[in-house]
Structure 1
Amino acid sequence: MSLFAWPVRRLPIPRRPFSSSLVRNSPKPASDPDPLATIGGPDAPSKDSLPPLSRPLGVRERPTTLVKSTTDRLKELMDTDVRMAQRRHLIKEASVGYFHDLNMTRKHGGKTWIAPKVLIREDKALYLPNITGKSLDDGSNKNSTEMLFGKVTVLAMLSTKVSEINAKGFVDLTHARYAPHPLYQYVQVNLQENVLKSFLVNIFLNSLRKVIPKDLQSTYLVSSQNMEYVRDALGMTNTRVGYVFLIDENLKIRWGGCADATDEEAQSLENCTGVLLKRLERKKGIKGDPSTASEPAGDESRRNCLWL
């Protein structure tokens, strides 16, 4: 018989009995995962939440109605800091897609921050830049600096139908309460920076007059002003949604809200407007209106402002 044909006897391989020591010694997760994290629906925890407003809104330069001379414009063009700031802005805008604003409305409805519950401190607050436009009632040229100075103003920046709905959610409570007050006003700015859209809006001004109440037409501005370099300063990072600002008598932005208003934000605007009206009444020596909210005095009043 050939050596290679000889049958080979297979020895049994001893099997090691199963031990649970491997399981006992295996690392455990630091904490058990939240069972709701993988469940959808209204009870599911939010994966991301909106941050509160973390900085004052506006520009540092006090607005003016004076038209810049050719010399001033040349100085700005020669200013290295100004040119670098504009260059950084243009580079940032070039990296953003065409449908960026539209895509952002799918997340939180375009809302990027939560409005504050209290006023921004006067010494920390920044200015609203001058905005020019045509008044809806008679088509005359007006500017925000002259319109807002000396009054407490709720100002809405509008550009789309969605933005009008956003502003209405913020302003309805406040305007219904303070509309009769002599130191209060509601200003709407229909901002159309696109040349074609601005042209169409100006054509259909008569139709717009039929929609806007008569008592609000004198404070309704139709503007085509370029706001490109102040959008970030004002927090207006999405052209599709509406923005609402509370402006004091010195043209400073003391409160701001964006996109869809929550009940708390609408109530906050109403309360903050009442506080500013009460302060302005004391400055002007006007007898207090019972509709305005009372405010704390002294240190307590300062604690109820942002960025102490």
Structure 2
Amino acid sequence: MRPTRISSLFPRRADAFKLCRLCQHRAIRTSARLLAAPSPQTPAKSSPAPVGQSPASYKAPTKNDGFSLETLGRPIGFHRPPLPGKNSGEDTRSLKERRDDFVDWGNHLQRRKELTKAVSKPYFRDFTNVQYERGKSFLANPRVFRADRALFFPNFVGTTLADLSKPADTTLVLLNRISLVSVYSSDWALKQVQTWTSEKQNPDLCRILQGSRGIAQPVEVNIETNRLKYFILSLFKGRLRNERAQEDWDKYFFVRKGITDEIRENVGIMNAKVGYVFLVDGACRIRWAGSGDAQEEEKHFLNKGLKTLISETAGSAKTNPKAQAA
């Protein structure tokens, strides 16, 4: 084996000079690219802080961090009509069916997937969404959806102001009537719903409902999944009855169970802290929907849509009186 010379481990003087010339060419090319690149723009001046507020605590107004409301452009709801007793939240299976479901591996995987989805849902998602437009999810559609395109409103099971001791289904109340359905679950959401339906905020709507008794009706769905809050809410039934006509007591629902993520996603009530308003026809189809605080133009859309549905019902009653009698 030939011994390695120590001089071979270091570059010769000529090679060192060649490397230096190469580095010089690279430096020249890099400098040329930097000179040709556009100069960075100077940042825009931030808007001055309001009078009485320190600049450190002031945040310049933004456009909702990219969030923008869009008009509800397609029908929402379910493709199948609702059935009384469905979405009750009660397990009506027999002991044998429960045992088979427990030992079935496919059902176990499906149940585990549902639990994983429920756990992974951020608890404060509904609270953080309120910072944009006070939780408003979408803008109301200017016109009602066509009857042949509209989808169905789900069935809710709860108790009513008329009788808190036995369960009642919303589907049986909605059939054969034009219903203004309000869905909320807190005082915040109730105040939002009142911007659409109260006599002070929308007197024209109240006049339309009052003049169309027997054809149109108000329906309220108060969702409270917490058992303790549900019990406290039932203690105020006397005050709630005094605020409503006696004929509307069976149209005020307390709902605690059966509100699944599937229902929320299909009906559009994704934010549990916000109020929603729906126009539902006599076949339980959602013909119009609104969310959050009502804008003046949206209240006009609601009133116009209610008149349209009342006219449709009156017209169908004239052409088919047997169906109206049924």
Return the match for 1:179 from 206, 210, 228: 210
Distance (whole Å) between structure 1 residues aligned to residue 255 and residue 295 of structure 2: 28
TM-score for both structures, normalised by structure 2:
0.68
In our comparison, the structure showing a higher alpha carbon Rg is: 2
Return the match for 2:63 from 20, 38, 46: 46
Equivalence for 1:251:
284
SS in 2 for 1:70: coil
The letter for the 1-side match of 2:130 is T
Q: Percent identity?
A: 25
- How has the CA–CA distance of structure 1 residues 69 and 239 changed in structure 2, closer, same or farther, with 3 Å as cutoff? closer
Equivalence for 1:96:
121
More helix by share: 2
Equivalence for 1:161:
187
Find out whether 1:59 has 2:78 as its counterpart.
yes
Question: What's the CA shift for 1:202?
Answer: 1.9
Unaligned runs of 5+ in 2: 1-32, 51-60, 320-326
Question: What's the CA shift for 1:149?
Answer: 0.5
Question: What's the CA shift for 1:146?
Answer: 0.9
Return the match for 2:145 from 101, 117, 120: 120
Distance (whole Å) between structure 1 residues aligned to residue 294 and residue 314 of structure 2: 28
TM-score for both structures, normalised by structure 1:
0.71
Size of the aligned set, in residue pairs, is 261
SS in 1 for 2:82: coil
SS in 2 for 1:119: coil
Question: What's the CA shift for 1:61?
Answer: 2.1
Alignment deviations for residues 253-280 of structure 1 (CA, whole Å, 9 cap, x no partner) = 1111111111111111111111111011
Question: What's the CA shift for 1:106?
Answer: 1.7
Could you say what the CA RMSD is over the residues aligned between the two structures, in angstroms? 3.7
Equivalence for 1:218:
250
Distance (whole Å) between structure 2 residues aligned to residue 220 and residue 99 of structure 1: 28
Distance (whole Å) between structure 2 residues aligned to residue 186 and residue 132 of structure 1: 17
Unaligned runs of 5+ in 1: 1-21, 287-308
The letter for the 1-side match of 2:140 is A
Distance (whole Å) between structure 1 residues aligned to residue 48 and residue 112 of structure 2: 46
Find out whether 1:264 has 2:297 as its counterpart.
yes
Alignment deviations for residues 81-125 of structure 1 (CA, whole Å, 9 cap, x no partner) = 9975x7655444322332221222122111121111111222222
Equivalence for 1:303:
none
Alignment deviations for residues 45-71 of structure 1 (CA, whole Å, 9 cap, x no partner) = 735321222432212221112569637
1:65-80 map, 5 Å? 65=84, 70=93
Distance (whole Å) between structure 1 residues aligned to residue 293 and residue 168 of structure 2: 29
